Structure 1
């Protein structure tokens, strides 16, 4: 029995970037010096020994031409490294899709492709870790909301009922003071319920996204005094539970920032399909100027990554803030 080895079946390993760069520089310098030697050999110019003063300008011009050609070729050859360095400095895993395109860089193509693949892997790992962290956060929010509603809320309700019986039996000179205590407990109970609703939007699970956004806008308007104009498309496409939760949380964070930091007199919330893409917009007429992204905006970007959406925040000074979330596939 004979064995035959087929040629060309074993893939060649790509050259290392250091070897590739060395080869490129060696070839460029070799071509420049070979061209210079050829010109000297074929030209009628001669050099005396010792060198005459009149021959010095000729030598300097020749040296300048060689160095200039070498610098031009090296600059064009190493230009992708400048672009790669700039990408390294501005890259942010919360802003996906920033890649260096391969425009025929020859031997540096492997380096560019490797760097782009590394960004793909890092973004995938960041998205997966964010998904686990946000899922744990939502679970903890639900637990706290349940405890607030079931334990603290019920305890305050029992206190209110007990105070009512005490007020009915108390002397007239104590009833006004006890009524004040009743109102304080009732306000505390309402606040606990509001906190529980913000932590766990039960209306989102029970009545859907449209009703949840309407209730959210009303709550923000009542608590902050900033009127919120809402426009939610009625015939929205069927959305998954994750998409609805991300939309609600980003709208909640945006409106909360308006109430706390914007110093606005009005805000707008809209959710509609634009050019086949589901788009959420939250804007205000406040002071704007959000130059540094805090934990709230970065949290919104992490949530947007979970559903493959694109989040942009535009906040020019004195012109308010505009938050825009776009889901490319329409949320389906």
Structure 2
């Protein structure tokens, strides 16, 4: 009787060839149909802010804007990593008009100080990309009394956008782009979550909730901005090999990276849908919409499209940030 080991299967030429073909096929399909390199839009004379621009998707978004000639402000939490990204973007783009400003979106005080600095320094703002976010953070409450992941991914970006809204309107046409996730479909709406109540910390559950709130907020923001020349859209960047998993344990990170090597997008590929929403001629004037990782318009989950939830979202977020 023949005996065999699993290693015999994995080393069999047909298995190896099939795996390689599958990986190549998936990697080719994940690139999407819109290519930023084929988009001729210039951003000369424009100013753009990208939060979380020191690594991953944010860095490639900022690099694209810099190559288009924009004044780019890297809004980063880490000065060391931000400085490294700043040098790299200037070197690769040849654009010296790239600047680092520090902000921690989990802190309302930090967001306030950042916005004040921007309003003092900049006369115009044409693109605001709310990209910074975190997943897998441990249970915690910030100094502002907010749940940490919600503060980082949602309340902080909400406040930042609100504080810069008049400048965006003054600079119209302008665009607000909020990076959400397909995971919003697994999120739930419970406004007690904002203060850390009734939450279950299982894998990315809290992250999923925040991404759903991102879209609810974006859609209501778009409604309120009608007629101002400022658009607001949200998007799914794809399943991307970024540092978003850095807060998980070693086993989860290992499996994520192993599977991701074959099937996930690179950070450069993951930046495409955001760049599409921020600069493409096709999205000019479009607002209150949700795009998938292939730059296609798709319907977000039903709660994200509920106007009543959008109104309530704004009321609660404004109340939580009104002390500033």
Q: Same fold, TM exceeding 0.5? A: no
Which has the bigger relative contact order, CA under 8 A and spacing at least 6?
Answer: 2
Q: From the CA coordinates, give the structure whose radius of gyration is larger.
A: 1
Q: Which has the higher helix share?
A: 1
TM-score (norm 1): 0.25
TM-score (norm 2): 0.26
